C-alpha cells in the first residue's frame, strides 16, 4: 500500500543574513524535514540554533534564502502575497509569549474572532457562535469573551492564543516555544490540551522548544538542531533510547529523568556555549564542544547518515 504523502515537506531550507562588513550569518543552513498528517515533529536545540527561524521561514514570516517548503503539495516559497495569504489559513502559529502576541486593548472574544474578520468569513452572529465554540474547545468559558488579556492567567492566555490559531481550521500548527514561558504544572496542562486538540482535529504540529523533556511528551519524532543544521532526527523513543549524535547525548544528559535512568550520562554534560553562527567553526560545527572530536572533525563536515529507518545523524563516528 502506498504511504500518504507528508503534509509538510521541507528541503534544503536556508536563511542567511548579509551583515555589515561582508559577514554572513547562517541562521538556518540546509534543513530537510517532513511532517505527516496528524503527526508531531519536535524541533529542539539551544537558544540561537536557528529552530525558531526554521518555523518562521516555513510560514514565510521570514523569507527563506533558498530551499523548498511544500504544504499539502503546494510550494510555499514562490507564492505571491495573495496566494500566500490564502495558504496561511492552513498553517498557523502559537508564540512563546501569549501576552506579547495578544493585543492588550482588545477583548478576548474579538482577538479570537480577528482571523474571521481578516478573511471576511461568516456573519457577525455566526462569528460569535464560533468563537464561543473555540473558547469551549480550549477550556475557557464563553463568558470570558468580554475580558481583556490582562485578566487571564498565563496558561489561560496561551489557551486564547491556541483558540485564535485554530479559528481558521489549519492543517499545520507551528508552536514556537509555546509553553516555555509557563510554570511547569501549567506547561503540562497546555501540552495535554494540544494533544487532545490534535486527536480531535487531526492537526499536524511542528513543536519548537529548547527542552527535550517538554518535547518528549508531545512528539512522534524529534529533530535536534545545532548551529543552523539538523544533526539528528529519529522517532521519540529511538532518540531517547539510542541517541547517536554526541550533541543529542549531551542534551539528554541535562534532562533530569534521563539522568535518573542513565546515571552514566552525567559524565557527558554539555560544556561551554555554542559558537557564534557568525563565525562557525570549520568541519563539524560541534567539534569545539564534542568530547569525541577527532582530527577529521576539525576539517570535514559530516554528512547525514541513516542508522535505521527514520533515524539519521550527522557525525563521523557513525559508519
For ligand SF4, the closer CB: 173 or 234: 234
For ligand SF4, the closer CB: 287 or 311: 287
Cα within 13 Å of Cα(119), Cβ side: 19
Minimum distance of ligand SF4 from residue 151's CB (angstroms): 49
For ligand SF4, the closer CB: 30 or 139: 30
For ligand SF4, the closer CB: 236 or 248: 248
Query: Which residue bears the cell 499539502?
Result: 72
Minimum distance of ligand SF4 from residue 168's CB (angstroms): 41
For ligand SF4, the closer CB: 109 or 302: 302
For ligand SF4, the closer CB: 307 or 317: 317
Minimum distance of ligand SF4 from residue 276's CB (angstroms): 18
Binding residues for ligand SF4, rule: CB under 6 A, are 245-246, 284, 286-287, 290, 292-294, 297, 302, 315-317
Minimum distance of ligand SF4 from residue 218's CB (angstroms): 27
Minimum distance of ligand SF4 from residue 27's CB (angstroms): 20
Minimum distance of ligand SF4 from residue 272's CB (angstroms): 13
For ligand SF4, the closer CB: 38 or 281: 281
The DSSP result for the chain, as a single string, is: -PPPPPSEEEEEEEEEEE-GGG-EEEEEEEEEEEE-TT-EEEEE-STTSSHHHHHHHHHTSS--SEEEEEETTEE-TT--HHHHHHHGGGEEEE-S-HHHHS-TTS-HHHHHHHHHHHTT-S-HHHHHHHHHHHHHHTT--GGGGGS-GGGS-HHHHHHHHHHHHHTT--SEEEEESTTTTS-HHHHHHHHHHHHHHHHHHT-EEEEEES-HHHHHTT-SEEEEEETTEEEEEEEHHHHHHS--SHHHHHHHHTSHHHHHH-GGGGGG---SPPPPTTSPPSSSTTTTT-TT--GGGGT-PPPPEEEETTEEE--TT--
Minimum distance of ligand SF4 from residue 304's CB (angstroms): 12
Amino acid at each position: 500500500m502506498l504511504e500518504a504523502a507528508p503534509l509538510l515537506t521541507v528541503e534544503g531550507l536556508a536563511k542567511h543574513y548579509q551583515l555589515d562588513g561582508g559577514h554572513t550569518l547562517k541562521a538556518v543552513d540546509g534543513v530537510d524535514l517532513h511532517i505527516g498528517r496528524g503527526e508531531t515533529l519536535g524541533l529542539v536545540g539551544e537558544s540561537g540554533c536557528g529552530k525558531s527561524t526554521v518555523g518562521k521561514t516555513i510560514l514565510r514570516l521570514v523569507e527563506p534564502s533558498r530551499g523548498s517548503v511544500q504544504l499539502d503539495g503546494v510550494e510555499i516559497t514562490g507564492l505571491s502575497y495573495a496566494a500566500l495569504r490564502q495558504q496561511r489559513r492552513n498553517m498557523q502559529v502559537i508564540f512563546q509569549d501569549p501576552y506579547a502576541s495578544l493585543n492588550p486593548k482588545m477583548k478576548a472574544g474579538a482577538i479570537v474572532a480577528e482571523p474571521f474578520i481578516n478573511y471576511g468569513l461568516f456573519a457577525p452572529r455566526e462569528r460569535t457562535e464560533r468563537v464561543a465554540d473555540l473558547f469551549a474547545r480550549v477550556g475557557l468559558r464563553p463568558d470570558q469573551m468580554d475580558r481583556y488579556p490582562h485578566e487571564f492567567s498565563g496558561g489561560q492566555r496561551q489557551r486564547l492564543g491556541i483558540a485564535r490559531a485554530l479559528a481558521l481550521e489549519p492543517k499545520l500548527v507551528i508552536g514556537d516555544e509555546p509553553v516555555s514561558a509557563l510554570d511547569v504544572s501549567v506547561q503540562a496542562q497546555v501540552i495535554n490540551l494540544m494533544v487532545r486538540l490534535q486527536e480531535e482535529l487531526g492537526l499536524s504540529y511542528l513543536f519548537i522548544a529548547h527542552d527535550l523533556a517538554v518535547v518528549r511528551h508531545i512528539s512522534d519524532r524529534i529533530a535536534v538542531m545545532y548551529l543552523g543544521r539538523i544533526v539528528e532526527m529519529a522517532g521519540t523513543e529511538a532518540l531517547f533510547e539510542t541517541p547517536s549524535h554526541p550533541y543529542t547525548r549531551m542534551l539528554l544528559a541535562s534532562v533530569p529523568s534521563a539522568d535518573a535512568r542513565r546515571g552514566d550520562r552525567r559524565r557527558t554534560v554539555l560544556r561551554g556555549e555554542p559558537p557564534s553562527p557568525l563565525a562557525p567553526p570549520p568541519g563539524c560545527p560541534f567539534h569545539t564542544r564534542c568530547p569525541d572530536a577527532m582530527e577529521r572533525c576539525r576539517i570535514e563536515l559530516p554528512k547525514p547518515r541513516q542508522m535505521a529507518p527514520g533515524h539519521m545523524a550527522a557525525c563521523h563516528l557513525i559508519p
